[in-house]
Structure formats: C-alpha cells, structure tokens
C-alpha cells in the first residue's frame, strides 16, 4: 500500500461522517475528519435536535390548558423566545463538543476547514493551506435547503436554518411546502403563538405518507388554528412600507406576514469541492452517485448521507456509515438496507409510520386487509381535548404479513421505532394477535384489532 498520511479522510462532520470517523479510528485506523461549519452537522446544529427541543417548547400551551381537567389551575403563561433560543444554543454547543471529542477520543484527528479534492487520494485543507493524502476518502457533506430562485422576492424568505435563530418571534408566518419540515415548523410556530399559514402545492400535505394520517393531521392542525392552503403556491413576495411581507398566492389571495419560510426540499452539498476535477460522478440533482455499498465510481472514494440523496434521514446516514466501515475496513461487504425505514413527523399530534401506506400496498398486493382504530386517547378524557388518535395496520391478506403500521397521536414516533422491529422481521398479523396487550396504553390498540375494518381486493374496497 502506498504511504498515505491517513487510512481514511472524512469530509463532513455530521452524523454520518462522525460515525464513520469515530468507528474507523476505534479500529486503529489513521483517521482525519474535516468540518467547515460546526461538528454535529444539520441534525445536531440546525435540524432534528433543535427542532425537537422547539417541539417540546411548542407543546406547553396545550399542556397548560389540558391541566385544568385534572384539577390544576395554571396562572397565565407567558413565553420568552430569546430564552428558548439561548437554552437551545447551550445544548447544541454541548452536543457539538461531544461529537468532536468522540472522534478525537477514538484516536482520530479533527480539522475545522473546508476541504477540496485534489486527486483521488489527496485533499486540500483550505483553512490550513495544506494538502494531505489518504488511502480512502469518505464524502459526508450533507445537504442544505433547496433555494427557490424562480420565486420573485425569494431574497426576503428564510429557510429552516434561519428559523431556529430569529431575533424575534414573528407575529405571522407563511410556510411554503408540505413535507416534514414545513409541517413540523407550522406546528412549532403555531404552538408558540404565531399566526401560521401553510401553503402547499399538492392535494394533501405529506405526500409520502398514508392518506388517512395525512387527512387526519390536516384536520387536526386546522382545528388548532393553523391555516392550510393546498393546491397553492406563492407567486411573489414583496416588502411593504410597514416592513412586513406581502405574498401573492396562486389563487389570487394575498397574505401579509412577518416571515416567509421556504421548506421545499433539500439539495446535496457537492459544489466547489473539486468533485468534477477528480471525476466523481454526480446525478441530475447534483447528488453523488454511489452503489449499494456507498462506493462512488472512483474506487477509493465513498459517499454517505444526504449528499447521496438516497433517503435523507439521520439514522440512514449512520447506517450507511456502519455499512461503509464493514465493507471498507472489516472485509465484510455490507450493502445498505433502505427497506422498511420507520420514521416520524413531529407535528402535533405526531405521526409515526413504518412500511407501506394503504395506497402503496394496494398497488403491489391483490388482497389487503386494513385494521383501523380511531379513538380518543385516555389522556384527553379528563382534559376534554377533542383530538382523536389513529392507528392503522396494513396487512397482506394472503401471507398475513404486516406491511405497514401508521399512527397519529401522542408518542407515535416512539411507537414507530418499536414497530420497526416486527415489520423488519416480517412478522404476521397473527404474531401481533398473539402478543399480550399492555394496559392501559394507547399502543395496546395495535395488538387488539382482531377483525379487519375493511378489505381491499384488486383495488376495490370491500
């Protein structure tokens, strides 16, 4: 083997990159990692983690209201946005330090620098003005919010990155998009008392989820007071003399808000890092093209996480990192398994889901049994909150295999994590039926729905 400075050089200190660097270093490999912004990447710094903290913050007003049914008198509550932002910053800084420390603690070297590929075995560290060499290079530079240059006035808009650190909470916000980020932030801002409008181009929010959940969440969000405008896009955004923003929507309606947030997807970070010069193949969206082992077209260059535009989720990037380690350093080629990924949308109420939606299942299987329960969670009996929980199992009538499990309601994300195991294992509805319930819980409904609510045979509901 040629004499390289490192066995592995990782570009990007997010969840995927840090995991790969830390584990490779713990195997005794000579590892370096470089991050140009902050260790922890999108998930820790301006994604999942701060988002979840803000979700908790946004839930308190409902808790205060619900407490009355349980005998509590809660004095009038007030909210201070700068306190939330400052406390979030402290927690993020703590996690950031841990991420870096973990790599260094395992024996790796961590740089703060932008990195450019020079050739398949060398990278240039911009902040250090020097080039180092590595046997293998792993690109884990993640992604960023998709811009919207076609929108006149897009320069007045913010993305999720900025939403976390606004100087002050807007009185009114419009959010464009109908995916994870748009829906989660609509619930956060509304919960914090902001007049919130969600503008979505399609027929129903959250296009990749089961229609039952999408409709029920939409209804519940509207009942809470979030305005949702489907079949709608913004035509232009203009600053008005009062310093607020006017937005013209495709239906002719004008909104006046303090912030417009765009959440129309995320794009991979592959620009200006020398990929083209080295000949790394990029796909149509600019994402790095990789095989099932996360290897690029260049033998010793690999890529994982959002920069490859496969499934943009933190746990997926981490899984890809672990498969990379097995393949590259443990002589155990391990293809990435993207099948049956549990996921959650941290809306209010939450969505937790794994496997096929009813519509997808019906396309693939001639005989589908749907088990569906809609009920008021026990917690809301005394609180009086008029909110239903929805649970749904999608079962293949022939094999009895549970193909999909979909939940809307409190702690749905936690349940989706656990449901991921039986679905991944390919268990059947009979296995669910044989499982004893935990009483009283909401989740017990998942093992007590004995009769199908309806069947879908060759696309026809019977």
Chain residues binding ligand NDP by CB under 6 A are 176-182, 184, 200-202, 207, 233, 263-266, 312-313, 343-346
Nearest distance, CB of residue 419 and ligand NDP, angstroms: 15
Token readout for 5 is 């400075």
CB of 228 vs ligand NDP, minimal distance in Å: 12
Q: Which residues are catalytic?
A: 439
Asked whether the beta carbons of 282 and 289 are under 8 A apart, the reply is yes
Return the residue nearest ligand NDP (CB atom): 179
How far is the CA of 296 from the CAs of 98, 287, 338, 408, in angstroms? 30, 11, 18, 39
324/326 Cα distance (integer angstroms): 5
In the complex, least distance from residue 309 CB atom to ligand NDP, rounded to whole angstroms: 10
Q: Which is nearer to ligand NDP, 310 or 429 (CB)?
A: 310
Q: Indicate the burial class of 199 (C-beta count within 10 angstroms; 0-12, 13-18, 19 or more).
A: buried
CB of 34 to ligand NDP, least distance (A): 24
Radius of gyration of the chain measured on its C-alpha atoms:
24
- With beta carbons less than 8 A apart as the criterion, state whether 373 and 445 touch: yes
Q: Smallest Cα–Cα separation from 314: which of 26, 57, 91, 99?
A: 99
Distance of alpha carbon 60 from alpha carbon 39, whole angstroms: 30
Residue closer to ligand NDP, measured from CB, 374 or 417 = 417
Nearer to ligand NDP, 257 or 345 (CB): 345
Peptide bond into 125 cis (omega under 30): no
The candidate with the shortest Cα–Cα distance to 9, out of 129, 126, 108, 114, is 108
- Spatial neighbors of 439 by CB under 8 A, at least 6 apart, are none
Phi and psi angles of residue 379, each rounded to the nearest 5 degrees, phi first: -55, -30
Nearest approach in angstroms of CB 459 to ligand NDP is 23
What's the min distance (Å) between Cβ of 174 and ligand NDP?
12
Helix (H), strand (E) at residue 316:
helix 314-329
The total of other beta-carbon atoms located within 10 Å of residue 270's CB is 22
Residue 398 buriedness (CB in 10 A; 0-12 / 13-18 / 19+): exposed
Please state the closest distance from residue 107 (CB atom) to ligand NDP, in A: 32
- What span, in angstroms and rounded, lies between the C-alpha atoms of 115 and 25? 20
Query: Is 186 or 301 the residue whose CB approaches ligand NDP more closely?
Result: 186
Token reading at 171? 């009185």
CB of 77 to ligand NDP, least distance (A): 27
Of 217 and 264, CB closest to ligand NDP: 264
80, two tokens: 């201070």
Q: Which is nearer to ligand NDP, 147 or 279 (CB)?
A: 147
Choose between 201 and 379: whose C-beta lies nearer to ligand NDP: 201
d(CA 220, CA 196): 14
3-state helix, strand, coil in the chain (%, to 5): 35, 25, 40
CB nearer to ligand NDP: pick between 168 and 207: 207
């Amino acid at each position: 083997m040629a004499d390289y400075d490192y066995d592995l050089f990782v570009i990007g200190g997010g969840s995927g990159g840090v995991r790969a660097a830390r584990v490779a270093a713990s195997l005794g490999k000579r590892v370096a990692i470089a991050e140009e912004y902050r260790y922890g990447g999108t998930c820790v710094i301006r994604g999942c983690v701060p988002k979840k903290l803000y979700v908790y913050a946004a839930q308190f007003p409902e808790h205060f209201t619900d407490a009355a049914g349980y005998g509590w008198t809660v004095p009038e509550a007030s909210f201070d946005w700068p306190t939330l932002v400052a406390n979030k910053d402290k927690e993020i800084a703590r996690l950031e330090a841990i991420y870096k420390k973990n790599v260094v603690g395992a024996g790796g070297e961590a740089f703060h620098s932008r990195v450019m590929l020079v050739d398949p075995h060398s990278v240039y560290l911009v902040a250090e003005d020097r080039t180092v060499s590595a046997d293998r290079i792993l690109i884990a530079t993640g992604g960023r919010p998709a811009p919207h240059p076609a929108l006149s006035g897009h320069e007045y808009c913010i993305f999720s990155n900025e939403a976390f650190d606004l100087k002050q909470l807007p009185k009114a916000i419009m959010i464009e998009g109908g995916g994870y980020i748009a829906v989660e932030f609509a619930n956060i801002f509304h919960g914090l008392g902001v007049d919130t409008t969600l503008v979505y181009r399609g027929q129903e929010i959250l296009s990749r989820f089961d229609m039952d959940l999408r409709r029920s969440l939409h209804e519940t969000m509207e009942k809470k007071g979030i305005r949702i405008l489907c079949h709608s896009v913004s035509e232009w955004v203009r600053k008005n003399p009062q310093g607020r923003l006017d937005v013209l929507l495709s239906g002719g309606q004008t909104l006046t808000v303090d912030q417009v947030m765009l959440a129309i997807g995320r794009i991979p970070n592959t620009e200006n890092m020398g990929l083209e010069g080295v000949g790394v193949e990029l796909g149509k969206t600019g994402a790095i093209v990789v095989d099932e082992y996360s290897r690029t077209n260049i033998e010793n260059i690999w890529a994982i996480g959002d920069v490859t535009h496969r499934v943009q989720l933190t746990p997926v990037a981490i899984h890809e990192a672990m498969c990379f380690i097995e393949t590259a350093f443990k002589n155990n080629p391990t293809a990435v398994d993207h099948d049956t990924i549990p996921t959650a949308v941290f809306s209010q109420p939450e969505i937790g889901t794994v496997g096929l939606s009813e519509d997808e299942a019906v396309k693939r299987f001639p005989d589908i049994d749907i088990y569906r329960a809609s009920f008021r969670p026990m917690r809301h009996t005394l609180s009086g909150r008029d909110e239903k929980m929805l649970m749904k199992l999608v079962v293949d009538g022939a094999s009895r295999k549970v193909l999909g499990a979909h939940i809307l309601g409190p702690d749905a994300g936690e349940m989706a994590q656990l449901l991921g195991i039986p679905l991944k294992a390919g268990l059947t509805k009979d296995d669910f039926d044989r499982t004893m319930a935990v009483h009283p819980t909401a989740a017990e409904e998942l093992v007590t729905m004995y009769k199908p609510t309806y069947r879908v045979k060759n696309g026809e509901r019977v």
